[in-house]
Amino acid sequence: MKTSINKQILSLAIPNILTNLSVPLLSSVDTAVVGHLDKVYYLGAIAVGSMIFNFIYWGFGFLRMGTTGLTSQAFGQNDDREISLNLFRPLAVALISGFALMLLQYFIAEVAFYVIDASPEVEKFAKEYFYIRIYAAPATLAIYVFHGWFLGLQNARYPMIILVTVNILNVIFNLLFIYQFDMKSDGVALGTVIAQYSGLLISILLFTGFYKKYLKYFTLSDLLEFSKLKTFFKVNTDIFIRTLALVFVFSFFTAESAAYGDDILAANTILMQLWIILAYAVDGFAFAAESLVGKFIGAGDRTNLVKSIKHIFAWGIGLGLFFTVVYSLFGNQIIAIYTSNETVIALTLSFLFWAIVSQLINSVSFIWDGIYIGATATSAMRNMMLLSTLFIFIPSYFVFKDSLGNNALWLALVLFMISRALFLTLLAKRSIFSKV
């Protein structure tokens, strides 16, 4: 049975890892391309513009996470009707929300750039980036839903096809617009818009080609069934609040980085790429946890639930250790890929320690996230995120800010991840294992 569990884990995790790594690796191409332009503020503009969209889109991360948890449990129960509705409920929310974001774009921009203390040059090009990329919102959110739904059905290959294709197209268009049409941050934004709508088209084609049978279960009355809607909105509201707190932490990190100046902002942006590469890699196992934990809880299978969690942790921590070694040995060479600016390279190297020490800590936090999402134990996950944000991250930064400067930002972030891992571990018996 151990081999069987590992096969299930790897059949989900490997496509998810490839899918997830394509995001930071190909976005790293954007960072490297923009980082080699003649002005450092183009890189800052991409960082600030991306931060705004991270705040928006990560806030809607429940459209993927909640869909995976609910769909995987319905899959474990062999409930085809609920599997179908777990696609169409969030898809309706995604499309309505996407168009609402487009309508509210000027208000969002005014608030965002009022809060962010960036240089005039960075703000100018970040706004240009924002007002183009916002038109991808409906497609981006709809892709979240299809991604989560396919994972809930234990299918990690289709999300891989969709997201790898989107990211490759994104890079191709960005290189085309920057080098062929002499665009700057606006070219990166336009490439993203075209790639996202291409991804939505691929998602629809995969659904209609291979899962068309679920259309027959769709009725408007079932879609609006109160008890199911109540569960849907409870789970997704918890995930939304949890994700909003997480996005706040990283947005605060970027905003404070910008306040230290364009060079520190550029250095932290590069180091955050290294942080995110690990996050996306380990999330391959976290996504596997969402699918398998949800399925085993839906089926009432405690034995395989416990085994899958143990093995997923072993894989995730091992991957974290691998990244620790890689960043320790090849940090200098990796940083040189992102920028040729000597000042930025020197600053990045001076803070590289934080990217190295955080890898194992982050692995534990990310795996627990996947487990809690698959179990739809969302209230506990929400509460622990708020606790870590309000009572660990924010106080620790301001306590050490004056004496440590930018190091205080990284220290606060590492302490934040440690507290999340610890709190979720302590609550697991009550929140996860009591469900079966």
Output helix, strand, coil percentages for the chain, rounded to the nearest 5: 90, 0, 10
pLDDT of residue 21: 67
CA atoms of 180 and 386, how far apart (whole Å) = 46
Q: Is there a contact between 89 and 223 (Cβ–Cβ < 8 Å)?
A: yes
Mean pLDDT value across the chain: 87
pTM: 0.83
Q: Which two tokens stand for residue 268?
A: 């932290």
Helix-helix angle 137-152:80-103, to 10 degrees: 160
For 29-40, the pLDDT digits (tens) are 666 666 656 566
- Taking only the tens place, the pLDDT of each residue in 381-414 is 999 999 999 999 999 999 999 999 999 999 999 9
Backbone angles phi, psi at 225, to 5 degrees: -60, 125
* Residue 3 pLDDT greater than 70, yes or no: no
Alpha helices in 60-156 (DSSP H): 62-76, 80-103, 105-115, 120-133, 137-152
At 429, give phi and psi (nearest 5°): -60, -45
Residue 23 has pLDDT above 80, yes or no: no
Residue 361, SS3?
helix
Which region holds residue 182: left if phi is over 0, alpha if psi is between -120 and 50, else beta?
Answer: left
Percent of the chain surpassing pLDDT 90: 49
CB burial of residue 110 (10 Å; 0-12, 13-18, 19+): exposed
Work out the number of other CB atoms within 10 angstroms of the CB of residue 350: 11
DSSP one-letter string for 397-436: HHHHHHHHTHHHHHHHHHHHHHHHHHHHHHHHHHHTGGG-
CA–CA separation, 199 and 140 (whole Å): 8
Name the residue among 176, 184, 214 with its Cα closest to residue 75: 214
Nearest to 277 by CA among 21, 15, 4: 21
